[in-house]
Structures are given as C-alpha cells and as structure tokens.
Structure 1
Amino acid sequence: MAFTLTSPAFITGDVLPQAQVYNGMGQSGQNLSPALTWKGAPEGTKSFVVTVYDPDAPTGSGWWHWVVVNIPPNVTTLPEGAGSGRGGMPEGALQIRTDFGVPGYGGAAPPPGRVHRYVFTVYALDVPKLEASADSSPALVGFMVHHHQLAAASLTALYGGPAK
C-alpha cells in the first residue's frame, strides 16, 4: 500500500477553501488547519511530521505555514482546526514556529498577483521524537526530518488573487 495523504476539504489541484485561508494580511479566511488523514505508513514508522509550505512566496526561501512534529505513530488523522487551537492535537505532538513568527497553523495569505501552491506533507520518521522546541525554525526541523524520513505523502492546493 502506498503512503497517502488526503483531506475532506480539497484534493490536489483544488483551490484552498476559505476556511483554510489566513485572517489578516489582506485575507479574510477562517485560518483553520484542514482535516488531514494518512495511511500506508511504512513498517518501522515511529512518528510523523506534518508541514504546510508555500514555495511561491516572494521571499527567496518560500513560506512555512505549519509545522507539527512528534505525532505518535498510532495517529493517522488530524481534525479540522487542530492546528488552530480548536482541539484535536495528539498528546505529545508539538507545533513549531512558522514564518508568521508563532507556532500553529497560518493559512494562505499570498500577495496579489499570482496563484500560490500550498504543499501539505506528512512525513513518516524512523525516530519517536525530534529534538525540537516550539521556537525551532522550520529549516532546522526540515534538516532533522530528512535525516529520519522513511516516506512522505503530499497534497497541493492552490490559492491566489487577481493582480492589484
């Protein structure tokens, strides 16, 4: 069985629903992390990491919208709003500081002018825990993930507005 990631809110290529759009920076979304479900993790998986990344942000390094580490291996779903303080974050899981400057989900908030890709990824890791804190950078977490990754599954949603 292939390692897969799904959401009831969208499929790859869909426009990101307004519920998952940021409330601020010119946007008026609900800023709710989407429900996510994964299956088919490889044998030996000891934890999961979930990330949301916008490679199209005009920063030179993209934009990290959500990073969750240390999700236990028996967890295969996150409910809508888990990353937005609505409950449902698994015990032991840790949200890391994003490019918004704080831990937790930050929805799509692209500047006007082009459509951006929002890549939701779940990583299966061979370690039960990453040595990260809530103030760790997403780049540091990425470095650790890629040293312990057994598999990854992604979904990509689109969001953007008309030019100014």
Structure 2
Amino acid sequence: MKRIALFPGSFDPFTRGHEDIVLRGLQLFDEVVIGIGRNSHKVRYFPLEQITELIEGAFRSQPAVRVMSYDDLTANVARAIGAKFLLRGLRNTTDFEYENGISQVNRYIYEDVETVFLITSPHLAPISSSIIRDLHRYGQDVNEFLPYQLQVPDKAK
C-alpha cells in the first residue's frame, strides 16, 4: 500500500522551510501531496494560482510530489486522496501547541490519519511566511528564503 502524506498549509508564500519538510518527508513517504488550503480567516497576499505554479515548478524534478488546492477540512481531504498521514513542520514550542490541537481534531474527524511532525532544520527555523510577506511588501528581496524566484515589488504598496 502506497504511503501518502498530505502536507497542508496556506503557503503564503511557500518557503525553504516548507521545502525542507517536503524533501525530508519524501524519505518517509512514497508520495507527498502539498495541499494549499483556503483559510476563510486569511486574505492571501500571493494569489493562489501563482503560488501553485511556483511550488509545482520547484518540485518539477520530484515525481513523488504533487500540489493541489482545497476548500474543505484537511482531514476530509486526506481521506479523499487516500492519505493516512498529515505532515507538519514545527519551528518551536508555540507551533507545537497550535499543531497539537489541530492534529487531535483531525484524528477525531478521520480516525485512520496520523500526524507526523518534523522539527524544522535549525538554519531554517527563523523563516516564516508572515515575515517574508512583510519583507516583500516593503520592497525587500526575499528570494534567498524561497525555493523559487519572486520579483521584488516597488517599495510600500
């Protein structure tokens, strides 16, 4: 049986830290599905279509990685695609507290799913999507933090 992991998130944007989790996840799973969830509480900074294309391009040489977007509960999506695992990265204890609650709810909804936490590689731990958005918004080059290239915007949109 194929071991499929769903790596869910808003990925606004998808960072080198996320890429690290996917690549390390490939050592554990036969397939990693990057699931870009639509969060009703967040307005996206980067358009969903743009991020989807950029992530697909970053993993073009990895046939065991695919990208999808969804508008449903993560546990329901995992069940629908045959994923028995949810892959999550943890940068710190705050991430753990947040992710632990979500993993319990996902297990309640889909009892066959296991959440697998990988600790972020130390050199990538300071990187967060929110910091990258702020830097980008004010005209900073953020490409060293991303597995693809973004154009530097005009300062202070």
TM range (shorter): under 0.3
So what's the TM-score if we normalise by structure 1?
A: 0.26
Which structure's residues are more often strand, by fraction? 1
Query: Whose helix proportion is higher, 1 or 2?
Result: 2
TM value normalised by structure 2: 0.27
